Structure formats: C-alpha cells, structure tokens
Amino acid sequence: GDSVTQMEGPVTLSEEAFLTINCTYTATGYPSLFWYVQYPGEGLQLLLKATKADDKGSNKGFEATYRKETTSFHLEKGSVQVSDSAVYFCALSDRGTDKLIFGTGTRLQVFP
Amino acid sequence: DAGVIQSPRHEVTEMGQEVTLRCKPISGHDYLFWYRQTMMRGLELLIYFNNNVPIDDSGMPEDRFSAKMPNASFSTLKIQPSEPRDSAVYFCASSITQGNTEAFFGQGTRLTVV
C-alpha cells in the first residue's frame, strides 16, 4: 500500500543554517504531496503542497519539489529561525481514495 | 468557522473503562479522519469517513476500537475496554473532496490510561 518515509530526527541546527528534511514515498498512482508542521501542544497545519510532478510548493521560506523519478519530496529552507522549531510531517493523498497518509515526523530544533 | 473541534482535550481514565472521544468537523467538509500519535509509531491513520460512511478502517488496532459518524457534524471514537497501551494523542481532521486539498486538524485529545 501507499507509504511515506522521512528521515529520523531530531535535526539540530543553529539559527541561519540550511535545512533539508528528506521524504520519499511509495504510491500506486500519482498522489498529491504535502508537508505539515506541528508546533508544541497543537494539531498539524499545512505548510506547503504539490499536486503533480515537478511542482514546487513553497511557504514561509520553505520549499519542496515533487520529484516523480526519485519519488521524493524533500523539504528545504535556506536559513532557519528559532521559531521554526517544530515537528515536520511529510504526507501523501491518494487520488483514487483520498486517503491521507503521514510519515513518522521529523523534529527540528533550532538554537540561537 | 471555528475549525475542527475535539473534546475533551485531556482524558485520564483507568484501565478497563470505556473512553469516548468526540470530533466536530468543519462545516461543508465531507471527509473526516481519525489519527493516533505516539512517540514510537508516529501518526497513524485509524479510520476515515466520506459523507458519514466509513471508507477504510484498516488502521483500527483491534476490536476494542470503534468509530461512528451519525451525521455530517459529529463523529466519535470509542475504546472499550481501554488499556494503558492506548495512551496517545488522538487527532481528528477534516477536508473537502479531492485529494489535493488541505486537511484541517483539531488540537487533539491526549488520552492517558492508568
């Protein structure tokens, strides 16, 4: 079945460092791909999305490109801030069933 | 709209007791998802509904878990009897039709079974 694999955390960075969180997926069709963010004590909220191959989703300085050839959707940010500290989830939505499946999450900790 | 509303926010119960978690999706959303989040297993999809009908419950861990959606504005997740290993944060989320749209999450119910 469909699945999402993302790098384990925690990822620990200094402020203004470059961030990459890897995400790969397995799907029978052509899913939509998402990154969600979870701040402490809160539910998940959408960070960005891409609905077809080669689409780039972006928001708040974060970017991710839908790569069908490598089945990947890696999250990047050029310069992280302390306020970016959170747990980041990669997810896919199966077009046929609308089933929304998440990876296990990657905790990001940014220090001043 | 107030967003997805879950209740209670926190629940502490004794092993063997029945627990009912509640969710009110965003009005007009026709998909509703129940997830369980633990440190060990991350975010697991338990069950989801489309137009109040359960579509896939393959993630429900065992018969002690059941979920219902009697109408478009209300869903419950019940655990009977509860066990300590059920301790987790349970999230409800809703979305509109089409898989490329955003799912909106509630703030979750933190369940502790002692």
pLDDT at A100: 86
pLDDT tens for each residue of B17-44: 999 999 999 999 999 999 999 988 888 9
pLDDT at A98: 79
pLDDT at A7: 86
Is there a contact between A102 and B35 if contact means CB atoms under 8 Å apart? yes
H or E element: which one contains B95?
strand B88-95
Residues B3, A19: Cα–Cα separation, whole Å: 31
B95 vs B100, which has greater pLDDT?
B95
Mean pLDDT in residue range B59-63? 91
Tokens found for residue A87: 């747990």
pLDDT at B1: 65
Nearest to A99 among B56, B91, B107 (CB): B56
Q: How far A40 CA sits from the closest chain B CA (Å)?
A: 10
pLDDT at B3: 93
How do strand A86-93 and strand B42-50 relate by DSSP bridges?
unpaired
pLDDT bucket at A2, cuts 50 / 70 / 90 = confident
Mean pLDDT in residue range A55-84? 97
pLDDT at B62: 87
pLDDT at A34 over 90: yes
Nearest to A98 among B99, B105, B106 (CB): B99
